[in-house]
Amino acid sequence: MTLAASTATGLLFGLAPAAHTRVTRLVTALKEGGDKGSIGTARHRVRRGLVMAEVALAVMLVTGAGLMVSTVYNLTRVDVGFDRSRLVTFSIAVESTGQDQVAGGVNRTSRVRTQRYQQLLVRLRAVPGVQAATAMSGLPLNEQFLSENTRIDQYTPPPEGPFETVDYYQSVMSDYFKTMGIPIVQGRSFQSTDAASSGMVAVVNERLVNTFWKGQNPIGQRLKPNWGDWVPWFTVIGVAKDVKQGAVDRNAGTEFYFSIEQMAVAPSPLGRAPATVNLVLRTTLPPSALAQTIERTMREVDPTVPIARLRDMDTVFEESIRRPRLLAQLLGAFAGLALLLAGIGTYGVLAYMVAERRREIGIRMALGAARSSVIALVMRQGLQPTIIGVLVGLAGAFSANRMMATLLFGVQPTDPITLATVTMTIVLVAAVACWLPAWRASRLDPNVVLRTD
């Protein structure tokens, strides 16, 4: 496809000049041509049309690039709900050991997994430079949207909703909210004593409270996963700040936090601990400095479990906005190339026009025309197609940018600041491209021009 397009383009623009040499055009060319070196009016129009097309395409591309750059900038300033500075994360997977039998009403594998996680956290918290450590089932900014059916006590959904669903289930271990830097806005977070509590406890986020219990005190409210009638009710003990669990550019969803320690000792089949967890350390050390220590600690706890994706949370954040950043870079590269071609095209057409009208300009200057008036004349000839191209490009940008509205964040397709900046940039580039031929035209010596022409 690319080869065919390149071949067709080469043939089209290669045959275009040959078309002007046809015998049937000879008489017209002679009539239109006058002085030596002049070209026909039709060719003038073609060149000016190409300049206008280049400018229009440049306006569309630069506008799209500007909107994407604004999108990336807005994404980098989003409050994700937690303090991602000085956080290092990695994941581990503790597979089943074949001991899934229920002992004393408790799932043994779930308890063994949780004990390993606790041992690893205790050792990691003792590492110099590590200030806090925790583990969770889903890593914020990367968690999958679930929309789990959930029973909400004392809530009857209206016909139009919202219905009894929770967007994210998050299983966490002790010190989760402290380590992640997630504020508890009401109530308290999980404590080590919750594992021995007779009733199941939960932490929810502000979005869930405002969705189902707006205007009510959420502490003491009850909810439970719709896994079966055997599932007990969970009592809300705290409300956490909203966190961007799915992605930076998505709205925060409703969240239901479970305590892994409590779930591990709960009666089967409720008792469960995730086989794969993400561990997060708040530390003053970079991931590279912690890598060997983490691997050695993991071998001491369980040499069969590998460590995966050791990185800091800033890297996780950058990966979450990688797609819009890549689009901004691609559009920016194409926009820069289009801007360069538009400037070169404007300069080339204007320089050719000045060379063609040397005799006219010499006569004007011989009759007393000021150099400034010559510059104004040439600049006007060059900026006219630019202005038309900008207007056409803005009209095209209005239509094209609406199609990329779903890719934008915090900026509208018709953002006036972006459009004004693009217009000023294009006009400035065109003015610079026009200035050099205009300045050269104003430096012509009328005596030399009239003598040679």
Q: Which contiguous run of DSSP H or E holds residue 288?
A: helix 287-301
272 or 431, higher pLDDT: 431
**Structure pTM?**
0.78
Q: How confident is the model at residue 184 (pLDDT cuts 50, 70, 90)?
A: very high
φ/ψ of 248, rounded to 5, equals: -65, -35
Tokens of 100: 């899934």
331, 419 Cβ separation under 8 angstroms: no
Between the CA of residue 261 and those of 112, 195, 221, what are the distances in Å?
11, 6, 21
How confident is the prediction for the chain on average, in pLDDT? 84
pLDDT tens by residue, 195-236: 888 899 999 999 999 999 998 999 999 999 988 888 899 999
146 or 105, higher pLDDT: 146
pLDDT tens by residue, 374-429: 788 888 888 888 899 999 999 999 888 888 888 899 999 999 999 999 999 998 98
Q: Which contiguous run of DSSP H or E holds residue 377?
A: helix 371-403
d(Cα 311, Cα 300) in Å, to the nearest integer? 21
Residue 68 has pLDDT above 70, yes or no: yes
Nearest to 278 by CA among 421, 29, 66, 94: 94
pLDDT above 70: percentage of residues in the chain: 83
- Residues ≥6 apart with Cβ < 8 Å to 418: 63, 66, 67, 70, 411
CA angle 226-275-149, nearest 5°? 15
CA angle 399-400-404, nearest 5°? 120
Q: What is the pLDDT of residue 265?
A: 78
Tokens of 64: 């799209």
Nearest to 287 by CA among 315, 267, 261: 315
Q: Any bridge partners for residue 93, and if so which?
A: 276
The arithmetic mean of pLDDT across residues 283-304, rounded, is 91
The arithmetic mean of pLDDT across residues 336-357, rounded, is 82
Residue 452 has pLDDT above 70, yes or no: no
